[in-house]
Amino acid sequence: MNLDELLAYVATHDVRLTADDAADGGGVRLHFDAPADAVTPDLVAALRTYRSELLDRLGAGPAPERVEVARGPLSYQQDRMLSLINANPPSATWNVSMRLVLTGTLDEAALRTALDAVVARHEALRSRFVDDGDGPVQIVYAHQPVTLPVVDVTGLPDPDRLERAENVSRAVAQVAFDLDHELPLRLQLVRVDVHTWWLMIVVHHIACDGWAVSVMLHDMAAGYRRALAGEAPDRTPPTVQSIDFARWEQRVYDAGTRRRRADYWSTELTLDGFALDLPYDRPAPAVPTGRGRAHQFLVPPDVERDVRAFSVERNTTLFPTLAAAMGVQLARLTGQGDVVVSLPYANRDRIEFAETVAIVACPLLIRMRVDTTATFADLVDQVGMGLFAGVDNMLPIGWIYDRLIEDAGGGSPPMAAVSFAYQSTLNLELDLPGLTAEVEDRPTGAARTTLICGLIPRSYGLEGYLEYALDRLDPATAKSWMDGYLEVLATACRQPHRPLSELTGLPAPVPAAAA
C-alpha cells in the first residue's frame, strides 16, 4: 500500500487519525481510530511506514518552531463551537472543504505566493484555538511560508487517474483537524492532466464562515494576478482580525443590552418549542457514528423565475421567500403548525468587518407559525418581520438558551432540528488569468445532528444541498424531502395569495399558533 492508496483507504473506511505529544517527551505520536473490520495488517504496516508523512499532514510533523505573536479571547460562537468539539470524538464535521477545479495554464509558483499572502494577511489561518488552562483562547503565530503539497496523477491511465485524484481529495477533506496541534488550514494541489488542476482548500469552521471563504478566495485571486505581473504580494492585514472581533463582541453586549434582548427571546420562544417530529428512517443511536452525506439539487429555472418575481412583488429579498417555503415543507413533514429554524446571519453590517476572516456569522432563530388558513404571502411577511426583529435583538445563541432554561425552571439546552441558509454573500466568481475556476463544495463524510439545508446563487441557477446524518436518514428519503421542498416553492410562488390548505400536497389546516 503506497501513500496515495493509504490516504484513499483512510478516507473511504472511516479511519480517523490524530496526533499528540508523548507524555514521556518521546516526540509526537500518531493515533488511529477505525471500525474493527477496517483494521488490517496492511493498514497497520502502512501507518508505520508513512508515519512521518501523515504527521506532516496533521501539522504535527517536523516543522519550524512556531513563534507566538498574539493571544486573545474567543468570540462567543468560537467558544461554543470549541466546547462542542471537545465534548465529542474527533470528526471532520467542522471542516469547510472546497475544491477549485482550475483549467488552463497554471503557474504553481504564483499560486503558492498568493496562498502564502492570504495566510500572512489573516491571523485566524495561523492560529490555534485551545484551552490554555485559564480558559479558551486563540493563539496567533508569526507567519511561516505556506507549504502546498502537489500530487501529480498525469502518468496514470484515465480511469485510475481520476480515481486517484478523487481519493486524494477525499483524504484531505475527510481528516479531522487536531486543534491542539494543527493550524486550521489544509492545502493540497492535484495535477489531473496537462491543463487541469484541483486545488483543495480545507479550513476549520472555527476560523471562518461563508463570507470569510469569499474573502480568502478573492484575496488568493488578487495575489495570483499580482504574482503573474511580477508585483510584490499584498500582506496588509485587514482592519479587524479574529481576536479584534472577539473583543468587540465583549464590549457591545453590556448587561443592559443583554437583558433587553433576552427579554425579546423569552417572549418569542419556549424551551419545548424546538422539537420537530420529523419522519426519520431510524431513531437516533445512543452513540452517533458521525457519518454523513449531502444531497445536492438545482432549483428549476422556471421555479427560480417565479420565486424572484413573487419576491419583487412582495418587496422582499429571496431569503424570506425561500425560508417560508422550508417552513411549509417542515409543517408538511411533521404536521406541526409551529416551526423553529436556525438561520445563519452574516453579521457583517459594520464596514470594518468586510475583510475579516473569522467566524463572524451567528445563528439567528426564527419561529414560523404555519397557519394553513393563511396565505403563503402572509407567511413570507411574517418571516420577514421575524428576521428584522431577530437581527435587532441579536444575542449569542447560548445566552438565548440560558434564558429559556431559566424561564422553564431548568432543562437541557435545546437545538433547532434544521438550519437553513441562503448563501447570497458567497461570491465564487474568480478572476485568474489564463484559467477558468469552478469552486465545488467537497463532502467531508461527516454530519452533525442538525439537518443543514442551503441554497447558493450560481451563474447557472440556484444550487441547493441538504446535509444529513446517515444514522437517521437514507439518501432516498433525503431526496424526497428536498423534492417536496421544491414542490412547495413552485406551487406557493405561483399561487401565493391562496390559503396554504388549498395548495396541492400541503397538510390539512392547523390552528394558528399562539403568539
- Protein fold of 1-63: Arc Repressor Mutant, subunit A (1.10.10)
- Over 70: is that where the pLDDT of 20 sits? no
Radius of gyration from C-alpha coordinates of the chain: 24
Structural domain boundaries in the chain: 1-63, 254-428+443-502
- Over 90: is that where the pLDDT of 87 sits? no
- Over 50: is that where the pLDDT of 265 sits? yes
What pLDDT digit, counting tens, does each position of 427-469 carry?
A: 788 999 999 999 988 877 777 777 999 999 988 899 999 999 9
Location of C-alpha cell 473506511: 13
Binned at pLDDT 50, 70 and 90, residue 389 comes out as very high
Better-scored residue on pLDDT, 42 or 436: 436
- Between strands 451-458 and 435-441, the pairing is unpaired
Cell for 53? 508523512
Poorest-pLDDT segment among 160-164, 218-222, 356-360 = 160-164
Assessment of whether the complete model's pTM goes beyond 0.85: no
Q: Give the model's pLDDT for residue 509.
A: 43
Segment 173-180 shows an average pLDDT of 87
- Between strands 362-369 and 338-345, the pairing is antiparallel
- Over 80: is that where the pLDDT of 232 sits? yes
Segment 129-141 shows an average pLDDT of 91
- Over 70: is that where the pLDDT of 351 sits? yes
Q: Please name every residue paired with 345 in a beta bridge, in sequence order, or none if there are none.
A: 362
Binned at pLDDT 50, 70 and 90, residue 57 comes out as low
Locate the DSSP E strands across 238-377. Answer: 292-298, 338-345, 362-369
Binned at pLDDT 50, 70 and 90, residue 28 comes out as low
Q: Give the model's pLDDT for residue 261.
A: 96
**Rounded to 5 degrees, what angle do the CA atoms 199, 203, 209 make?**
115
- Over 60: is that where the pLDDT of 140 sits? yes
Amino acid occupying residue 470: L
Q: How many whole angstroms separate alpha carbon 91 and alpha carbon 58?
A: 13
**Is domain 254-428+443-502 annotated with CATH 3.30.559.30?**
yes
Average confidence score pLDDT of the chain = 88
